[in-house]
Structure 1
């Protein structure tokens, strides 16, 4: 055995060939099945035998064939994350958070950028049926819900109700977010408010609740709520810049604005170019609270979505589905918070 150890070690240290599981077994003086149990942490192996195998693995710098192991387990260890547009800050931060959590769990992330094309989304979804990926986390909404439901494979949705009881959803309390935004602007003295909102589309999207709650809260207070409808699945910067310019031109008397981060930043720019003072003449509240707001001045009041917690909850739900475990609940609603900034007349106090 000592001779085998010396010969094998010298051979592989010379870099002539990668060590295989048979070489580890020969060096440790055990069968390949025992090596496999040690590497995979499955089945009983005595501590003495485990030590011999681990020393042989280290000495030969053996790396398990991950692809072969995954094929045997009928797993790819890859998760697809479908987002509408990765250039949009919210989806970029969500993708980063999801990837980090999957990595800790031993999974790789395939980022699927739909970019306004339902055909892209359909192709990514088909990878699940072809076993290219083990599961899908989706934050997009180009396809009809039937196409998701048809796959009968592990899927978890961010914000979109595809099929209750079949496709779990992770979301935030958008209704409360809409109310908090309205209350913040009303308390700041706004009476003519403008909301940038998503156009009504077929399907059930939890984020639509914030638009309804905002408008109801404003009108219940006797103030005016005007709606500017955005094109569906449109996240381009030039589009946001154009619609912000148009809105401020057509509504020069508004004193309060509510929209997502990108829209609010472009509205601030358009307002300042018109020499409108913020917050004295115009107050703004953003929705999402991404890092994109960090460089803005004045500092922006925002409803902050808990992106890290969204990613954590989504990954946990999906992995439980992949492992065939029963879900304790198929809908998770997380809280959000109001981060006060200068755009509503505050210096940066936090609420919520």
Structure 2
């Protein structure tokens, strides 16, 4: 049997070929009822578009470039799930470019590189305000920031200051010294992120408002061994300080909180009693470990960023839009 064609879909749906094409391209001009009729015909005929014909006919690559700091953390895996869900619905492919070192960062600043040959660009987490102001990002295609915010560009981001404040307000009501662990995130001082700087600002502001000092602050990379070593150093301090236990620790990412929980148990201490732990992310494993943490809808943030970019690709020419997501405190056994 021959494969169904776009003409077959149009005939079954009772519309023109152009309408089917607009549905396949997720064009905003198609009415909801018409879109449903075309999608039903596509499903009934089991029609699959020819990607090469689509690219040639549309004059597009139907590819989105996504620039990420790293690929190996749960946060970015979840962020990609949200991005890809939206792009797949619109039949766009995704090309991922991890920014691992200075040479890659410098290379991606050039508009001739492969990352800039896509129809749209997603940049995750980095504070790119200065880059845009200096016009070092020579992007000709629509661009969206996710997990970051800058003026004059579409962005989907978390209220990290508010999340840090929620953690600080809660920690301030708990007895004993307060500690914090932050994430080292700068890559050769070229691109930076405000995520953890904002969480710290909110956390310290809330503690100060409650008249509570921070006993000590520590910094760790996202490396698992580094996180465990930092947890060990923190607990050494707490156990050596008179009245240091019980204490409360705000670990600004669940990965750090998980390493801290492992070290607490290794020392025969009890989470939630000897050491109260507050994380940030609410990763899928957090509930099973009883981790008190700030929940952030990572997948939704990625999905919304993709929708902002797709609207640009479908013709939106209006001012930049910002979608801010609010974290919420999930109280469990560790605090």
SS of aligned partner of 2:285: helix
Aligned to 1:278: 271
Which residue number corresponds to residue 174 of structure 2?
A: 188
Unmatched 5+ stretches in structure 2: 24-37
Instruction: State the SS of the aligned residue for 2:277.
Output: strand
Alignment check: 8 A CA contact 1:81 1:138 kept: yes
Q: CA deviation at 1:147?
A: 6.8
* 1:74 matched residue in structure 2: 59
Mapping for residues 171-210 of structure 1, pairs under 5 Å: 171-189=157-175, 191-199=176-184, 205-210=194-199
Q: How many angstroms does 1:209 deviate by?
A: 1.6
Instruction: Please show how residues 133-152 of structure 1 align to structure 2 within 5 Å.
Output: 133-141=118-126, 145=131, 146=134, 149-152=137-140
Q: Any idea what SS the aligned residue of 1:291 has?
A: coil
SS across alignment from 2:334: helix
Distance 1:322 1:119, change over 3 A: farther
- 8 A contact 2:110–2:138 mirrored in 1: no
SS for the counterpart of 1:342 is: coil
In structure 2, distance between residues paired with 1:19 and 1:306: 40
Q: CA deviation at 1:318?
A: 1.0
Partner of 2:280: 287
Match of 1:101 among 73, 86, 96: 86
* Greater Cα radius of gyration, structure 1 or 2: 1
1:250 aligns with 2:237: yes
Structure 2: distance between partners of 1:128 and 1:315: 23
Secondary structure of residue in 2 paired with 1:269: helix
CA contact (8 A) 2:4 2:47 kept: yes
Separation (CA, whole Å) in 2 of partners of 1:105 and 1:221 = 48
On the 8 A contact 2:125/2:193 being kept in 1, the answer is: no
TM-score, normalisation: structure 2: 0.76
Residue number in structure 2 paired with 1:117: 101
Match of 1:5 in 2: none
Matches within 5 A, 1:304-319: 304-319=295-310
Distance in 1 of aligned mates of 2:53 and 2:273: 65
2:181 counterpart SS class: strand
SS at match of 1:326: coil
Q: Quick one: distance in 2 between partners of 1:98 and 1:128?
A: 24
CA 1:256–1:327 in 2, change beyond 3 Å: closer, same or farther? Answer: farther
TM-score in terms of structure 1 length? 0.73
- For 1:170, what is the secondary structure of its paired residue? strand
Instruction: Report the equivalent of 1:227.
Output: 217
Distance in 2 separating the partners of 1:160 and 1:279: 32
Cα distance change of structure 1 residues 223 and 153 upon mapping to structure 2, 3 Å threshold: same
Contact conserved, 2:147 with 2:156, CA < 8 A, in 1? yes
Q: Counterpart of 1:31? A: none
> Higher relative contact order by CA 8 Å / sep ≥ 6: 1 or 2?
2
| Residue equivalent to 1:347 | none
CA RMSD of aligned residues (A): 3.5
The C-alpha deviation readout for 1:215-247, integer Å capped at 9, x for no partner, is 1222332323122123xxx42222222222222
